Amino acid sequence: MVIFINDRPLRLTDAQRADLLQEKKEYDVVVDVRLDAIRPQILKGHVLILNASPATVDRVLKLLHETYPADLQSVALQVANKKQAEEKLKSHFRVVKAAGGVIFNGDRVLLMYRLKRWDLPKGKLDPNEKSRDAALREVEEETGILAELEEKICTTWHTYTQNNNRILKRTKWYRMSCLDDSAMAPQWEENIERLAWMDKKEVQNALVDSYSSIRYVFERLWKQEILNDQ
């Protein structure tokens, strides 16, 4: 599970995975909570926290929300029980369910420009609505494009604050193919300024001015494409 907190990924991992990543030297800072305390000063670069407990989860979340460390790129918590740690994380937020899509038109992908960032169409599920139906509905509402649903890409989790409530949004992402873009237009009510079909190189350039969770969606998408080509 990866949660994007203040646009920085926090990952829960088991001991085996943590050992493997540590051997590859993928982390700038490694801390064992049995030996050292979690302090704001350690939150720099890519951080691995070993032997994390539920109390460690609380401590890290508190620091991330209070200090906003500018030099932090990611945090990985090695936990004994991932399910228990996930529930502990979720308990700090109100969970909101959403769905969205990566729309293909041949070799091009649709991106939309909203609030000074490139983004993908997505939105909250209506009551009793299924994620697959919500993804298609949100695409049409935000872009005017009629699309056909293909396979699921991944699920992302990201946090934000709304009316003093801490929200954890779960978004299921689907690959889609464009059926009709003749009515394509940005939904101004949702602060969408522009829509653009882009090739892969253009997408990579646009993602520099995007969100970490959106970059994660494309990483998973391109990984799937590589595996399908093998």
Dig out the tokens for 13 from the structure.
Answer: 């991992």
Helix (H) or strand (E) holding 158: strand 146-162
Q: Rounded to 5 degrees, what are φ and ψ at 104?
A: -105, 140
| pLDDT band (50, 70, 90) for residue 227 | low
3 state DSSP class of 129: coil
Residue 60: alpha-carbon gap to chain centroid: 18
Instruction: Read off the pLDDT band of 165 (50, 70, 90).
Output: confident
* pLDDT confidence tier of residue 153, bands split at 50, 70 and 90: very high
> Which has the closest alpha carbon to 50: 97, 15, 91, 11?
15
Query: Which residue matches tokens 């992908």?
Result: 109
CA distances from 76 to 56, 63, 155, 206 (A): 12, 14, 18, 27
**What gap in Å lies between CA 116 and CA 222, rounded to an integer?**
25
Map out the domains of the chain as residue ranges. 2-90, 94-229
pTM: predicted TM-score of the whole model, two decimal places: 0.88
Q: Six-digit token pair at 185?
A: 């237009």
Yes or no: domain 94-229 corresponds to CATH 3.90.79.10: yes
pLDDT average, residue stretch 125-145 = 97
More confident residue, 229 or 64: 64
Residue 230 has pLDDT above 60, yes or no: no
Mean local confidence (pLDDT), 211-226: 90
State the pLDDT confidence band at 26, using cuts at 50, 70 and 90: confident
Cβ(168)–Cβ(96) under 8 Å? yes
The pLDDT-based confidence of 144 (bands split at 50, 70, 90) is very high
**Tokens 């909250």 correspond to what residue?**
124
Strands 45-52 and 117-119: unpaired
Q: What is the largest CA-CA distance in the chain?
A: 61
| Tokens coding 218 | 């494309």
Distance CA 64, CA 162 (A): 17
Q: What one-letter code names the amino acid at 118?
A: W
3-state secondary structure of 71: coil
What does the pLDDT read at residue 160? 87
